[in-house]
Structure 1
Amino acid sequence: MKIVFANRYFFPDQSATSRMVSGLAFALARRGFEVTAIASRTLHDHSNVALPAQEMVAGLSVKRLWATRFGRSNILGRAIDYLTFHISAFLWCLWNLERGDICVVCTDPPLLSVTTALPIRWRRARMVNWVMDLFPEVAMELGMLSNKSLPGTLSRVVRNWSMRKSAMIVCPTATMASYLTEHGLENDRVSVMHHWSDGEEIYPVPPTANSLRTRWGLQDKFVVGYSGNFGRAHDFSTLLEAAVLLSDDEDIQFLLIGGGQQRAHVEEIVRNRDLKNVIFKPLQPAQNIAESLSAADAHIVSLIPRLEHCIVPSKFYGVLAAGRPTLFVGDSKGEVARVVASADCGAAVKIGEGQRLADFIVEMKESPDRRAQMGLNARRVLDTVFSRENAVNAWADVMHKFRQQSAVASQSSVYGPAE
């Protein structure tokens, strides 16, 4: 039995889904499982980069499938990239899967489980549907797709069909799992397995030892960070309102790291408002991630409330690993807000509460001991609840059960059913 991970991006790509999938795949390979990853030949933010078609990385076989490389700059090009990857994934599964294999199918590109369901079934393998972003609901909630339109209805029907063909559906939050079971999927098929962060790769770096903080001229500042994707699922209006309100405080600096669909718009607002207290930096390479996340004294994490059942911001787990408080902007009863409140590792505000966010920032700046305790609490909840070790143990247990089931099934096919 081999485990096949299917996701459009894989190591060395540093996008959120790639880091999650790659980390788990490498960990399972180290534990003795035969693991293969299928992905595209491009990087998330660099469609002009062509990665090798196949290679062995840390004992794991990576098969990078052909697909067009128009990139993320326009919707039509992205749709063609999706379509060609779907076709390549269908053909790869049809030609390469074997009886008893476990194919862990992720949600980039959307509906990949639909494309791969039939070849997985024909090859008598089994599918684990790892739902990181719930499509088409994300598109519907963002107004990109009508839930009453034919494409919207059809997308949901075929998605649910593919889930019913799965041996297991993995959700990162109980909210998403509840949504799926309330919409007709069997309870015993849906499992909650939280996202995580690698506490060895990301760890607290003191300000005085942080070379990035020094290089960026932030040594004497209280730094409010945002790190990751500037996507449609995230609110930036509240952050920018707080930045305006605090623009006269020379001790506070906003540090925005990453890229994505909304970054240009955020940069334009910062220019138009002449906000000298906001600086932008590109997403940092993997070897700098501990310093990058530790460069901030507190991090803003946001999620539009209507997407709580669709997405969890994976950047949150990196903030926990870096031992920094979280300032969450979104649903006060959502997944991140609940963890922040129960672990006492930050604060939460609703979208539009820029003044309240600004007040929390000032309070944290002026209370270094309290802020330090929140950081310790953040790292503690990472180590006890959201660690990579916990996640890998849970996934390994699942794979051992599948392996045992495959062995029993194989024996039955040879000797006939047990009396």
Structure 2
Amino acid sequence: MGAIETKPKRKIVFVNQATGYLTIDVVNTFAKDYDEVALICGSVRVQDVELDSKVDISKISIYDRGNNFRKAFSWALGTLQVFFLLLIKYRKHEVFYYTIPPSAYLLASFFRSSFYIMIYDLYPDALKIRGRSEDRLLYKWWAKQNKKVFQKACKVFTLSNQLKEGVKKYYPNANVEVIHNWSAFSGKLPVDREHNSIIRREGLSGKFVVQYSGNIGVTHNVEVIVELAESLSNNGDIEFLIIGRGERKNVIERLIKERDLGNCKVLPFRKDEELYESLCVPYISIVTLDDRVPDISVPSKVYNILASGVPIMAVASLESSIANLVQTHNIGRTFLKDDIVGMKEFILDLRNNPDKLKAISRNSIEASKEYTNQNAVRIYESCLG
């Protein structure tokens, strides 16, 4: 009898410096069928679903959300650590790169392993937000590397058609597939405001809450919310909440104090166990995106907002992916950052028209049903195909 051929083991390692529920869902899907599954990460933030116990975790530096220097340093250090782990420990694994740190996927040029890329933020395009022009040496070098890497990738995943076109700008024949993100709270019923403990605790009963939750950085246009609060300061029932952290948090707090705005306050991030309840607090959720480069990302929090059934007021380019999402599902409106009058009228319109508010809320919940963790299965099946 001839020797029995043994099927080669399937091994894959995922790279994401800041691992959350989206990555966990994908990793767990692969863990069901692959022989060995590993994860290179700086941190793992668990919400409802735990990481499969069979996953081998290798830790690198934590993604630093501080100022530009600290953030860039954590990215550079993380990329270097990923390189040595791929060289020594995971040389025979397929690799699935996420763009955190954003330079990690460029390491694919140094290895022969099959690899996939999930583009959350498209670089070097994102450097434009930081004032880097296309004439800069780093920008040109990165663009050249993109052409090489996208050409070799088994599959490049993006979150929107706009991002897909951005990838193809570097290599027109790249194998790109659009698979949207999804909510961590798919299928949950929104928390009724009358029974929302955060509303009671923060003294928000009877208030028409407009809420921003996210990073408060240079590119996030959070100053718009302060201007809106000032323009609506005579409407005692409208309250603005800014929940988050970032390098401009102190600036926003100072602006609120200088303008003596009693209808606007900054609060720290909610605990994970309070996140969904917090998303259900407002009547309108604000999402901001830098309008200088509209197609480099789609904020993942959008999908969690959908599941909470809250209308979205997007402050972004009218040509952006989020604008397209909002319009497609009729879940709110998108405004340019200088259209304070339009935003003000939108807020007052929804406050004064409960039936219209409820209709948009229903649209939001219906739209959330299209963005579930079934998309993690689609990613897995696409990699196999």
User: For residue 9 of structure 1, what is the aligned residue in structure 2?
Assistant: 18
Distance of 2:274 and 2:109 partners within structure 1: 38
Structure 1 residues 329 and 150 mapped into 2: Cα distance closer, same or farther (>3 Å)?
same
The corresponding residue for 2:121 is 133
> Residues 296 and 61 from structure 1, CA distance in 2 versus in 1: closer, same or farther, beyond 3 angstroms?
same
> d(CA) in 1 for partners of 2:205 and 2:149?
52
Which whole-Å deviations, capped at 9, do the CAs of 1:359-380 have from their partners, x for residues lacking one? 1111111112211111110010
Counterpart AA for 2:255: I
**Equivalence map 1:346-365=2 (5 Å):** 346-365=332-351
2:231 aligned with 1:245, yes or no?
Answer: yes
Residue matched to 1:115: 107
Q: How big is the shift at 1:237?
A: 3.3
Map 1:153-168 onto structure 2 (within 5 A). Answer: 153-168=140-155
Alpha-carbon separation, structure 2, partners of 1:129 and 1:311: 14
Uncovered stretches (5+) of structure 1, i.e. residues with no partner:
11-17, 44-55, 402-419
Shift in Å, 1:233: 3.6
Cα distance in 2, alignment partners of residues 212 and 150 from structure 1: 49
Q: Which of residues 16, 22, 40 in structure 1 aligns to 2:42?
A: 40
1:25 counterpart letter in structure 2: V
Aligned partner letter, 2:82: A
Residue 138 of structure 1 aligns to which amino acid in structure 2?
A
SS of residue paired to 1:92? helix
1:323 is displaced (CA, Å) by 0.7
Change (3 A) 1:251 1:196: same
Taking a change above 3 Å as real, the CA distance of residues 209 and 3 of structure 1, as seen in their structure-2 partners, is farther
Looking at structure 2, the residues matched to 288 and 30 of structure 1 have their Cα atoms a distance apart, in angstroms, of 30
Contact 1:293–1:319 at 8 Å: present in 2 too?
yes
CA distance in 1, matches of 2:73, 2:30: 32
Q: Are residues 32 and 166 of structure 1, via their aligned partners in 2, closer, same or farther at CA, if it must alter by over 3 Å?
A: closer
Deviations 1:370-418 (A, max 9, x none): 11111110010110x22222x12311212433xxxxxxxxxxxxxxxxx
TM-score (norm 1): 0.82
Name the SS of the counterpart of 1:175 in structure 2: helix
| SS class of match (2:245) | coil
Distance in 2 (alpha carbons) for counterparts of 1:59 and 1:70: 23
SS of alignment partner, residue 318 of structure 1: helix
What residue identity is the alignment partner of 1:61?
A: V
Looking at structure 1, the residues matched to 63 and 278 of structure 2 have their Cα atoms a distance apart, in angstroms, of: 29
The Cα shift of 1:169 comes to: 1.0
CA distance in 1, matches of 2:363, 2:200: 26
- The 2-side partners of 1:176 and 1:217 are apart by 41
Query: Percent identity over the alignment?
Result: 24
Distance in 2 between residues matched to 1:325 and 1:33, nearest whole Å: 43
Q: Select between 301-310 and 210-219 the one with higher mean Cα deviation.
A: 301-310
Aligned with 2:346: secondary structure?
helix
Q: Does 1:370 align with 2:356?
A: yes
In the alignment, is the contact (CA less than 8 A) between 2:39 and 2:56 conserved in 1? yes
- Is the CA contact 1:328–1:337 (under 8 Å) kept in the aligned structure 2? yes
Equivalent residue, structure 2, for 1:300? 286
Match of 2:377 in 1: 393
C-alpha separation between the residues in 2 aligned to 1:283 and 1:117? 38
> What SS is found at the alignment partner of 2:342?
helix
Equivalent in the alignment of 2:25: 23
**Residues 1:146 and 1:380: Cα distance change in structure 2 (over 3 Å):** same
Alpha-carbon shift at residue 238 of structure 1 (Å): 2.8
Q: Residue 247 of structure 2: SS of its match in structure 1? A: coil
SS in 2 for 1:115: helix
Aligned-pair CA distance for 1:193: 1.2
What's 1:271 paired with? Answer: 257
Q: Which residue of structure 2 aligns with residue 404 of structure 1?
A: none
| SS, match of residue 279 in structure 1 | strand
Q: Distance in 1 between matches of 2:28 and 2:86?
A: 21
The structural deviation recorded for 1:97 is 2.5
Aligned 8 A contact 1:93 1:116 in 2: no
Verify the 8 A CA contact 1:223 1:255 in the aligned structure 2. Answer: yes
The amino acid across from 2:99 in the alignment is T
8 Å Cα contact 1:117/1:127 also seen in 2: no
CA separation of 1:354/1:381 partners in 2, compared to 1, >3 Å: closer, same or farther? same
* Counterparts in 2 of 1:172 and 1:71: CA distance versus 1, 3 Å: closer
1:84 to 77, 96, 101: 77
Q: Distance in 1 between matches of 2:206 and 2:359?
A: 20
> What secondary structure does 1:108 align onto?
coil
Q: Which amino acid aligns with 2:309?
A: G
Shift of 1:212: 1.0
Q: C-alpha displacement at 1:200, in angstroms?
A: 3.8
Q: Which residue of 1 aligns with 2:177?
A: 191
Give the direction of change, closer, same or farther, for the CA distance of 1:88–1:253 in structure 2 (3 Å limit). Answer: same
1:86-105 to structure 2, matched below 5 A, reads: 86-97=79-90, 99=92, 101-105=93-97
Q: How has the CA–CA distance of structure 1 residues 42 and 312 changed in structure 2, closer, same or farther, with 3 Å as cutoff?
A: closer
Q: Per the alignment, do residues 222 and 351 of structure 1 end up closer, same or farther by CA in structure 2, a change over 3 Å counting?
A: same
Number of aligned pairs? 372
Q: Secondary structure at the match of 1:217?
A: coil
Unpaired segments ≥5 residues, structure 2: 1-9
Q: Cα 1:168–1:221, aligned 2, differ >3 Å: closer, same or farther? A: same
- Tell me, yes or no, if structure 1 residue 229 matches structure 2 residue 215: yes
* Counterparts in 2 of 1:369 and 1:171: CA distance versus 1, 3 Å: same
Greater relative contact order, per chain length (Cα 8 Å cut-off, separation 6+): 2
2:137 corresponds, among 143, 150, 154, to 150
Deviation at 1:61, TM superposition (A): 2.1
2:316 corresponds to:
330
Q: Distance in 2 between matches of 1:263 and 1:164?
A: 41
- Measure, in 1, the Cα distance between the counterparts of 2:188 and 2:242: 18
> Over aligned residue pairs, what C-alpha RMSD do you find?
2.3
